[in-house]
Chain A
């Protein structure tokens, strides 16, 4: 009886393993439906991350306009937070129930493209006579392309600049209409604005990104490198070069902000949300922010009199900004590719690009939509628009998440003084070049 039982258990285990193995086999790509099928109702599923703040209004407008134009295409949209969306997509793919389309930050798409999950879009653009190079901004196109193939339709892009509190400038005896033009000036201004209450920081002259703001911290470091003409990857992206003299100088400066000039500290504002953040409470003279922050500032911190300027470079350098964006992709496994392409094409064109960007305080990826008066009449948005001209995107590299983590740890250890900047960066670069980019 015991032997029979053991044999039965082993047989059940084997059968279950077979089922698992079959379930994890590559999902078969279904052929696209015929062009004439769009006259019949079809439902497509979209996984997206738009649900908070300004993007909620932009999302609702996008869905309504799409439904008006394509009444036969029913969009079943499911929203997850940025952290969850990736996991939910992986779980859906593993379960054999992937959505037809995904909208997310471009960092994720490089991974999906690398794993063969996404449908290449070049043939679709070519079939409809659309030239992506002349249609989209170069940085928007760059973040949508992986290994020379276009995988996503860029939905919107955004950049970074310096926001400064004009009232704190006045109180410190500085001209509120003259933001710093070099990083050296920024330090001098910040030191005049900084206030301490005993051993506690009351007002930060320049609130730099903290170690718990990992992505923000890495982006700031990268802008400091780019401002000196340096780079974080070599030409073919086979190695990282953030341990170059430009990188070491950038990190030394960053660490000096905390440890030498003491214009902020590593925990100032930690845990604060929205209006509680120091800049929103008038407790920070300057911050590096994205154009999307303008929406929050205007809604929750109306009494803060602030201005925008390009993040200044070191003396003799050129201003730099970091461009980011969100895109919309089609999954290879979709059974309704033509319908999904209609969604992608609609999202890439007017009026979707214009209204999404204006409603969410972002920039359209579509060149023609950037001529909206909203971008030229708003003084702060004008600055962010200018920052697009000096803006670059982090190249889409499918290991970027891991590289970012390693770089963030190096920056963090230099900021808290436990490792010298050059040692931190060289150790991190060696780890990335030998363990990640092999």
Chain B
């Protein structure tokens, strides 16, 4: 039998949780359940949903367009994730080693793109990527280098879009890495110095291993972001040229709002969820292993 005071505490806890719980249910859980249900229907918004079993899932998994979108998303991730980690690591290390009193202002400056909207950033880069008079090709021309097609070529469109996202988000990942580096005890570096380790050895033997949890967090976050890429594609390329930059989320949008097949679009979103969950299995296993230790 729970004592009265304890029951009152428990009741009060649930009451405090209630507003957040209601919001979570109404805006997250219920829409997700509803989306799951309509993924088994033919639904255009303009007519009531009509049950069609798993036809949407079969259609998606046998659609060359969806398969290409999945491949494009994976390729985009392969450009984006290493790119943003590399850039963030270099800048975080530079700030930590040489930043001094300028670290704070510089970190703030690097964070500014993160605060702009992706729509605005995309329009700015759309102008910069103009093949005839854009900033980037003008710079290349100045150095007598051949102009590039950037987002107008099937081979360069994905790295060009990834570059935009890297520019916009590297400030955030840099902040995380800097915070991680600052949490490493300085005594470790002093001990290493006494033992004769140089800067490079300290970096590889102390900084990188101890940054593992933060690095993993950054990888997970950038991985999720890469699979959610949509705004920059919608604004800059509309999935072109020749579907070369259409990602899964872009296909979800096109299928739902352009083709009026919201049932199929919902099914795509759950396929994306399953793909992400599969990709997260190694990470979850690693976390469990670390917590067991």
Tell me the A residues contacting B by CB distance below 8 Å.
Answer: 1, 5, 9, 12-13, 16-17, 20, 24-26, 86-87, 90, 93-94, 111-112, 115-117, 199-200, 210-212, 214, 266-272, 276, 399, 401-402, 405, 408-409, 412-413, 416, 418, 431, 435
Q: How far is it, in angstroms, between the C-alpha of A1 and the C-alpha of B133 when the chains are bound?
A: 67
> Which of the segments B43-51, B187-195, B213-221 contacts the partner chain?
B43-51
Specify which chain B residues have a CB less than 8 angstroms from the CB of A431 in the assembled complex.
Answer: 64
Say yes or no: B241 contacts A93, CB within 8 Å.
no
Partner of A401, one of B29, B64, B259: B259
Does B93 count as interface, using CB distance less than 8 angstroms?
A: no
Given A200-B147, A412-B241, A416-B154, A115 contacting B130 (CB threshold 8 A): no
Say yes or no: A211 contacts B240, CB within 8 Å.
yes
Say yes or no: B25 contacts A117, CB within 8 Å.
no
Q: How far is it, in angstroms, between the C-alpha of A211 and the C-alpha of B242 when the chains are bound?
A: 8
Say yes or no: B242 contacts A412, CB within 8 Å.
yes
Interface residues of B in 11-53 (CB under 8 A from A): 11, 14, 21-22, 25-26, 29-31, 33-34, 37, 43-49
Say yes or no: A93 contacts B258, CB within 8 Å.
no
Specify which chain B residues have a CB less than 8 angstroms from the CB of A112 in the assembled complex.
Answer: 46
Digit string of B125-156 for contact with A (CB within 8 Å is 1, else 0)? 01101111110000001000011010011100
Q: How far is it, in angstroms, between the C-alpha of A223 and the C-alpha of B1 when the chains are bound?
A: 83
Say yes or no: B10 contacts A1, CB within 8 Å.
yes
Does B198 count as interface, using CB distance less than 8 angstroms?
A: no
Interface residues of B in 260-277 (CB under 8 A from A): 260
Say yes or no: B63 contacts A435, CB within 8 Å.
yes
Q: How far is it, in angstroms, between the C-alpha of A95 and the C-alpha of B243 when the chains are bound?
A: 32
Say yes or no: B33 contacts A115, CB within 8 Å.
no
Say yes or no: B25 contacts A16, CB within 8 Å.
yes
**Size band of the interface chain B makes with A:** 35 or more
Closest chain A residue to B11, Cβ basis: A1
Q: How far is it, in angstroms, between the C-alpha of A334 and the C-alpha of B63 when the chains are bound?
A: 38
Number of A-B contacts (CB under 8 A): 120
Nearest chain B CB to A81's CB is how many angstroms away? 13
Does B114 count as interface, using CB distance less than 8 angstroms?
A: no
Given A20-B30, A93-B46, A402-B258, A270 contacting B132 (CB threshold 8 A): yes
Q: How far is it, in angstroms, between the C-alpha of A369 and the C-alpha of B117 when the chains are bound?
A: 47
Nearest chain B CB to A110's CB is how many angstroms away? 11
What are the 8 closest A-B residue pairs judged by CB atoms, nearest first?
Answer: A115-B46, A412-B242, A271-B130, A267-B131, A16-B30, A211-B241, A267-B152, A413-B242
Closest chain B residue to A283, Cβ basis: B132
Does B224 count as interface, using CB distance less than 8 angstroms?
A: no
Specify which chain A residues have a CB less than 8 angstroms from the CB of B257 in the assembled complex.
Answer: 86-87, 90
* Other 6 A-B pairs with CB < 8 A, given A13-B29, A90-B257, A269-B132: A24-B49, A214-B238, A266-B153, A412-B240, A413-B242, A431-B64
Given A87-B257, A405-B254, A115 contacting B132 (CB threshold 8 A): no
Given A199-B147, A211-B241, A412-B240, A115 contacting B44 (CB threshold 8 A): yes
Say yes or no: A416 contacts B153, CB within 8 Å.
yes
* A–B pairs, 10, beta carbons within 8 Å: A24-B43, A26-B47, A90-B45, A90-B257, A115-B47, A117-B46, A211-B242, A266-B152, A401-B258, A405-B258
Say yes or no: B259 contacts A94, CB within 8 Å.
no
Digit string of B181-201 for contact with A (CB within 8 Å is 1, else 0)? 000000000000000000000
Partner of A214, one of B30, B154, B240: B240
Interface residues of B in 47-101 (CB under 8 A from A): 47-49, 59, 63-64
Closest chain A residue to B37, Cβ basis: A17
Say yes or no: B25 contacts A12, CB within 8 Å.
yes
Nearest chain B CB to A303's CB is how many angstroms away? 19
Partner of B45, one of A1, A20, A93, A408: A93
Main secondary structure of the interface of B (DSSP, over half): loop
Specify which chain B residues have a CB less than 8 angstroms from the CB of A199 in the assembled complex.
Answer: 146-147
Closest chain B residue to A404, Cβ basis: B258
Say yes or no: B241 contacts A212, CB within 8 Å.
yes
Specify which chain B residues have a CB less than 8 angstroms from the CB of A115 in the assembled complex.
Answer: 44, 46-47, 260
Nearest chain A CB to B284's CB is how many angstroms away? 24
Q: How far is it, in angstroms, between the C-alpha of A279 and the C-alpha of B46 when the chains are bound?
A: 42
Say yes or no: A272 contacts B132, CB within 8 Å.
yes
Partner of B21, one of A9, A24, A270, A402: A9
Q: How far is it, in angstroms, between the C-alpha of A269 and the C-alpha of B134 when the chains are bound?
A: 11
Specify which chain B residues have a CB less than 8 angstroms from the CB of A9 in the assembled complex.
Answer: 21, 25, 29
Interface residues of B in 235-259 (CB under 8 A from A): 237-238, 240-243, 254, 257-259
Specify which chain B residues have a CB less than 8 angstroms from the CB of A86 in the assembled complex.
Answer: 257-258
Specify which chain B residues have a CB less than 8 angstroms from the CB of A24 in the assembled complex.
Answer: 43, 45, 48-49
Closest chain B residue to A416, Cβ basis: B154
Nearest chain B CB to A6's CB is how many angstroms away? 11
Partner of B48, one of A12, A26, A408: A26
Nearest chain A CB to B234's CB is how many angstroms away? 9
Q: How far is it, in angstroms, between the C-alpha of A412 and the C-alpha of B239 when the chains are bound?
A: 12
Given A112-B46, A115-B260, A13 contacting B241 (CB threshold 8 A): no
Specify which chain B residues have a CB less than 8 angstroms from the CB of A399 in the assembled complex.
Answer: 259
Nearest chain B CB to A332's CB is how many angstroms away? 10
Say yes or no: B44 contacts A1, CB within 8 Å.
no
Q: How far is it, in angstroms, between the C-alpha of A303 and the C-alpha of B287 when the chains are bound?
A: 68
Q: How far is it, in angstroms, between the C-alpha of A271 and the C-alpha of B45 when the chains are bound?
A: 34
Specify which chain B residues have a CB less than 8 angstroms from the CB of A16 in the assembled complex.
Answer: 25-26, 30
Q: How far is it, in angstroms, between the C-alpha of A31 and the C-alpha of B37 when the chains are bound?
A: 32
Specify which chain A residues have a CB less than 8 angstroms from the CB of B153 in the assembled complex.
Answer: 266-267, 416
Q: How far is it, in angstroms, between the C-alpha of A212 and the C-alpha of B158 when the chains are bound?
A: 15
Say yes or no: A211 contacts B46, CB within 8 Å.
no
Say yes or no: B25 contacts A17, CB within 8 Å.
no
Closest chain A residue to B17, Cβ basis: A5
Q: How far is it, in angstroms, between the C-alpha of A268 and the C-alpha of B132 when the chains are bound?
A: 7
Q: How far is it, in angstroms, between the C-alpha of A200 and the C-alpha of B138 when the chains are bound?
A: 11
Say yes or no: B25 contacts A116, CB within 8 Å.
no
Digit string of B204-233 for contact with A (CB within 8 Å is 1, else 0)? 000000000000000000000000000000
Say yes or no: B130 contacts A272, CB within 8 Å.
yes
Which of B25, B33, B132, B257 has the most C-beta atoms of chain A within 10 angstroms of its own C-beta?
Answer: B132
Q: How far is it, in angstroms, between the C-alpha of A112 and the C-alpha of B127 when the chains are bound?
A: 35
Nearest chain A CB to B58's CB is how many angstroms away? 12
Closest chain A residue to B261, Cβ basis: A402
Which of A116, A401, A405 has the most C-beta atoms of chain B within 10 angstroms of its own C-beta?
Answer: A405
Digit string of B141-180 for contact with A (CB within 8 Å is 1, else 0)? 1000011010011100000000000000000000000000
Say yes or no: B240 contacts A212, CB within 8 Å.
yes
Q: How far is it, in angstroms, between the C-alpha of A257 and the C-alpha of B30 when the chains are bound?
A: 54
